[in-house]
Amino acid sequence: MKLHYIGSAPITLELIDTVITQGYQLALSEEATQKINDCFNYLHKKIKESNAPVYGINTGFGSLQNVSVENDDLEILQSNLLKSHACGTGDEVPHEIVKLMVLLKIQSLSYGHSGVQLSTVQRLIDFYNNDVLPVVYTQGSLGASGDLAPLAHLSLPLLGLGEVYVEGKRKAASAMLQQFGWEPLHMKAKEGLALINGTQFMSAYGVHCLLLAKKLSQVADVVAATSIDAFDCRIDPFNELIHQIRPHRGQLNTAKFVSEVLEGSELINQPGKQTQDPYSFRCVPQVHGASKDAINYVEWVFLTEINAVTDNPNVFPNEDLILSGGNFHGQPLALALDFLCLALSELGSISERRTYQLISGLRNLPAFLVAKPGLNSGLMIPQYTAASIASQNKQLCTPASVDSIVSSNGQEDHVSMGANAAVKAGKVVQNLVSILGIEWLNATQALELRKPVKSSPFIEKLLTEFRKEVAFITEDRQLSIDIEKSKQFVLEMIVR
């Protein structure tokens, strides 16, 4: 059994990808265990020693902050918090993102500034290790006081409430506890607030999107290189001299990678080419590169966030302080997620334009890349599909982070709307897979029409593998099937 020890080192996207894809189990490091226990003991010692109001520990929440709560009722206060805040609606959050939420919540609690019981963190680890995935909904968070509604749904099963998936089957959390022989937890002071304050809904979506985005940005280069050869383009725009005098890192890396992908191509070295190519081919380094740089910025924001404490108030045992602040506010993530939508949408936008050029009947390619156009529509309508999806991505790029709406009787008067930005980003990255899949279908069809002249060994190998899944189009057939297979090939291209 492979184990990842929470709290032993900073967590990275690559580490998360390894833990998730290779089926690691989680455990707490000795250091994290000690920090959690020290913080919990300090907090409860302070509660016994003083009746001074401390937000969310012996007071109400939000605009009810001035309502005092007796010590005998502190456990009820925290349990009530989870129940009352489980107000999510809309679609269910995909299972892979729920699992990331559990992982990231454990990570945040492990730093010993949240005042939770060790048993609470351990039960979340049990959930993760046994694939117990709470039912969480996409709508309900303003992305400011933490992801309150989604995290309340994530945490309810600790009490034996709400619903979960176990081995793919949906069941009541109470039945899940019985199945594993676990007792419902009793929330201690501050615990409910620690569980639902935080940015783990936004962060999980962001991590999921980033893991795909980083891989898709490279796949987009491979697909573009295939289209460049299929459209009989020039190699000159990828010469390193051009990019050294405008040295954006993403631009430099894209030009270098595309050149490597096309190395050894007979098509790219044919004489008698036109003087220039359309921007969607010629400016791949500049456009794809800008998206890469944006993705790198977004990754920096999320790496900071997932290695942080994002609940409130924060407990500092060594400094003998309990401080109420705003680390739950999702503004850094909201802005970054909106930026990620823009970066991914542009990769899709330029991809759709290359598809359009490939079917245009130019450069000795038949209209719509099929024999007997007119009798056959060929690849005419997949471009419509790509255009529709690219347009939807542009609509989804309307920023969520510029919006705000007052809540909690004016106490929470500025919110990030980062949760909405997160859900949008999830849709944009899914759409990008579809657009790249359609371009790949067109580019490979065009390459076949260039034979016997060949592309590079790298691309020809991919083409051979693709033909095992999708046959060359000789006459009209139901192309939705081919599109789905092409999308799957694009996703699998990531790990080839």
DSSP string, 302-355: HHHHHTS--SSSEEEGGGTEEE---TT--HHHHHHHHHHHHHHHHHHHHHHHHH
Token pair belonging to 225 = 């290189």
- Among 178, 198, 218, where does a domain finish? 198
Of the candidates 55, 111, 128, 205, the residue annotated as catalytic is 55
Rounded to a whole number of angstroms, the distance between the first and last alpha carbons of the chain is 26
In angstroms, what CA-CA distances link 276 with 234, 254, 280, 363, 481?
7, 19, 12, 13, 35
How do beta strands 89-92 and 132-134 pair? unpaired
User: Looking at the 3D structure of the chain, how many domains does it have?
Assistant: 2
In angstroms, what CA-CA distances link 373 with 200, 361, 416, 472, 475?
52, 10, 51, 15, 9
Residues 210 and 194 both lie in one domain: no
pLDDT, residue 71, reads 67
Residues 123 and 107 both lie in one domain: yes
pTM surpassing 0.75?
yes
Q: How far does Cα 165 stand from its chain's mean position? A: 21
3-state secondary structure of 40: helix
Residues 370 and 239 both lie in one domain: yes
Residues in Cβ contact with 102 at an 8 Å cutoff, skipping those fewer than 6 apart = 124, 127, 128, 133, 134, 154
Residues 229 and 188 both lie in one domain: no
Q: Which residues form the domain of 184?
A: 3-198
Residues 258 and 124 both lie in one domain: no
- Among 198, 227, 262, where does a domain finish? 198
Residues 89 and 219 both lie in one domain: no
pLDDT, residue 145, reads 83
Nearest to 306 by CA among 332, 325, 326, 342: 332
CATH number for the domain harbouring residue 180:
1.10.275.10
Q: DSSP for 120-176?
A: HHHHHHHHHHTTEEE--EEE---SSS-SHHHHHHHHGGGGT-SEEEETTEEEEHHHH
Q: How many residues does the chain have?
A: 496
- Helices 148-155 and 74-85 pack at an angle, to 10 degrees, of 110
Residues 220 and 114 both lie in one domain: no
Q: DSSP for 437-479?
A: HHHHHHHHHHHHHTTTS---HHHHHHHHHHHTTS---SS---H
Residues 219 and 187 both lie in one domain: no
In angstroms, what CA-CA distances link 416 with 104, 194, 334?
20, 19, 6
CATH number for the domain harbouring residue 367:
1.20.200.10
Token pair belonging to 445 = 């069809």
Name the CA dihedral angle for 320, 303, 89, 430, rounded to a multiple of 10 degrees.
Answer: 180
CA distance 298 to 339: 8
Strand partners, 472: none
Q: What is the CA radius of gyration of the chain?
A: 26
Longest dimension (CA), the chain: 87
Residues 483 and 387 both lie in one domain: yes
Contact 435, 428 (CB under 8 A): no
3-state secondary structure of 481: helix
Strand partners, 191: none
Residues 60 and 153 both lie in one domain: yes
How is residue 22 annotated by DSSP?
A: T
In the annotation, is 5 catalytic? no
Residues in Cβ contact with 384 at an 8 Å cutoff, skipping those fewer than 6 apart = none
- Among 137, 166, 198, where does a domain finish? 198
Nearest to 382 by CA among 438, 430, 436: 438
Per-residue pLDDT tens digits of the chain, which is 496 residues long: 899 999 878 999 999 999 999 999 999 999 999 999 999 999 989 888 877 766 667 665 655 556 566 666 678 888 888 999 999 999 999 999 999 999 999 999 999 999 999 999 999 999 999 999 999 999 999 999 889 999 999 999 999 999 999 999 999 999 999 999 999 999 988 899 899 999 999 999 999 999 999 999 999 999 999 999 999 999 999 999 999 999 999 999 999 999 999 999 999 999 989 999 999 999 999 999 999 999 999 999 999 999 999 998 999 999 999 898 999 999 999 999 999 999 999 999 999 999 999 999 999 999 999 988 889 999 999 999 999 999 999 999 999 999 988 887 777 788 999 999 999 999 999 999 999 999 999 999 999 999 999 999 999 999 999 999 999 999 999 999 999 999 999 999 865 5
Helix (DSSP H) and strand (DSSP E) numbers for the chain: 18, 9
CA distance 393 to 100: 25
Strand partners, 25: 3
Q: Give backbone dihedrals phi and psi of 329, rounded to 5 degrees, phi first.
A: -70, 130
pLDDT, residue 65, reads 58
Residues 329 and 356 both lie in one domain: yes
The half-sphere exposure of 246 on its side-chain side, counting CA atoms within 13 A, is 14
Residues 221 and 349 both lie in one domain: yes
